[in-house]
Amino acid sequence: MKYKGIIFDLDGVVCFTDQYHYQAWKKMADRIGVYFDEKINNRLRGVSRMESLEIILERSTREYSEEEKKELAAEKNELYRELLGSMTPADLSGEVKETLDRLREGGAKLAIGSSSKNAKMILSRIGLEGYFDAVSDGTNISRSKPDPEVFLKAAEFLGLEPEECLVVEDAKAGIDAACAGGFDSAGLGEAAQYERTTYPLNSFSDLWVCCQE
């Protein structure tokens, strides 16, 4: 194996919670009368909850106080967690699980590197609680992607150096974070089209190929 560790983003990589983020923000934005669409939503990938809200409010005609912003973020998070509540292990695709198992059998240590404060709840809903060798998420960082902190912490938790690890991402902000931390990266979705991505992937199972010597 070319890498001793593989660090996976969660939302939009291991599972498709990115659609629930969109639905929850959309409901909140519609309620306050602020225009929001899937294109704007792409800018929120990998970005923290409060920074995501700031991006949505760029379209607002009025100012919101810090207190009001906290309430809006809490409203979105409640809607989001309601949607997460419907997830089951059936929401983890066979392709993802088989590829994770194969990489682990090949000798790689596996970690999560996610900006989300809901990461542990999601892992538990899809039956991956306790599966990863390390989980670095929104609860152990002070700066969100494109800052490399979440991936540097994941590598540290695995006891590995950045150059020994591969980061797997669907967001440009996540690829920028990987580059800033000195990691190679593999990209899905919009991250596969991004020139800074080391290995563009067509599907999750392609990971096996780029991890070979």
Tell me the Ramachandran region of residue 74: left when phi exceeds 0, alpha when psi lies from -120 to 50, beta otherwise. alpha
The reply to whether 136 sits near ligand BG6 by the rule CB under 6 A is no
Q: How far apart are CA 32 and CA 57, in angstroms?
A: 10
Q: How many residues at the interface with ligand BG6, by CB under 6 A?
A: 17
Which of 115, 136, 185, 197 is the binder for ligand BG6 (CB under 6 A)? 115
Which of 5, 14, 46, 155 is the binder for ligand BG6 (CB under 6 A)? 46
Q: State the number of CA atoms in the 13 A half-sphere of 112 facing the CB.
A: 28
Q: Which is nearer to ligand BG6, 41 or 99 (CB)?
A: 41
Which of 5, 11, 40, 162 is the binder for ligand BG6 (CB under 6 A)? 11
The contacts of residue 28 (CB under 8 Å, 6+ apart) are 56, 72, 75, 76, 79
Q: How far apart are CA 105 and CA 22, in angstroms?
A: 35
Q: Which one of Mg ion, ligand BG6, none is in contact with 185 (Cβ closer than 5 to 8 A by kind)?
A: none
Q: Which one of Mg ion, ligand BG6, none is in contact with 5 (Cβ closer than 5 to 8 A by kind)?
A: none
Q: Which is nearer to Mg ion, 32 or 179 (CB)?
A: 179
* Cα first-last separation, the chain: 6
Catalytic residues: 9, 11
Q: Site residues (CB under 5 A) for Mg ion?
A: 9, 11-12, 170-171
